[in-house]
């Protein structure tokens, strides 16, 4: 099929099958074996399919399953870091260094944010053009070179900041 004329239906079918297998709980290694590709390629196929079908029922099911897993893992890491059992009446698992637990939880929260689309690009409105900013910086540089600016402070944006990083009053 020529480029730019839509998707090859076999690619879409393969992505849908990969997502369905992931929803069934198969590991990427098993998905790859079913599709005749490597574990890494299976992961890529699932991820591409999820991006392509952001509103598809299979993608929604996959995302929810991943979010549920993240919640379970965060709870487990939290309990291990505090020496608590995962379930009522259960025996506490081997303790986990709190710093390692926190790093693991942060990584899980990062993954959750991506699954929920919270890391989507943000639109930024500039208050000045690049030329205006360059002119302002050049003027500040000339003033600095001439000794007209106190070098114990620096400007961040349009706010004066003193030497210890706090906003000057």
What is the per-residue pLDDT across 69-111, written as a single tens digit (0 to 9) for each?
A: 889 888 888 887 777 766 666 666 666 777 888 888 888 888 8
Rounded Cα–Cα distance for residues 19 and 23 (Å):
6
Most confident of 4-8, 61-65, 88-92: 61-65
**What SS3 class is residue 155?**
strand
Give residues with Cβ within 8 angstroms of 62, minimum separation 6. 19, 22, 23, 46, 50
Domain assignments of the chain as residue spans, ordered by start: 7-53, 58-119, 130-162
Backbone torsion region of residue 166, taken as left when φ is above 0, otherwise alpha when ψ lies between -120 and 50, otherwise beta: beta
Q: What pTM does this model have? A: 0.45
Backbone torsion region of residue 157, taken as left when φ is above 0, otherwise alpha when ψ lies between -120 and 50, otherwise beta: left
Q: What is the mean pLDDT of residues 106-130?
A: 80
Q: Where are the alpha helices (DSSP H) in the chain?
A: 9-23, 28-35, 39-52, 57-81, 98-115, 130-145
27-31, 64-68, 118-122: segment of lowest average pLDDT: 118-122
């Amino acid at each position: 099929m020529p480029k730019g004329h839509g998707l090859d239906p076999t690619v879409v079918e393969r992505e849908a099958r990969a997502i369905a297998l992931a929803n069934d709980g198969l590991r990427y290694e098993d998905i790859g074996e079913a599709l005749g590709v490597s574990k890494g390629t299976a992961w890529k196929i699932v991820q591409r399919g999820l991006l392509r079908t952001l509103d598809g029922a299979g993608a929604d099911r996959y995302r929810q399953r991943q979010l549920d897993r993240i919640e379970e893992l965060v709870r487990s890491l939290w309990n291990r870091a505090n020496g608590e059992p995962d379930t009522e009446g259960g025996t506490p698992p081997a303790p986990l260094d709190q710093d390692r637990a926190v790093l693991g939880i942060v990584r899980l929260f990062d993954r959750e944010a991506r699954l929920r689309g919270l890391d989507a690009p943000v639109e930024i409105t500039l208050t000045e053009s690049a030329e205006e900013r360059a002119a302002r910086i050049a003027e500040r540089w000339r003033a600095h070179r001439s000794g007209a600016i106190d070098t114990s402070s620096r400007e961040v944006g349009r706010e004066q900041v003193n030497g210890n990083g706090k906003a000057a009053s």
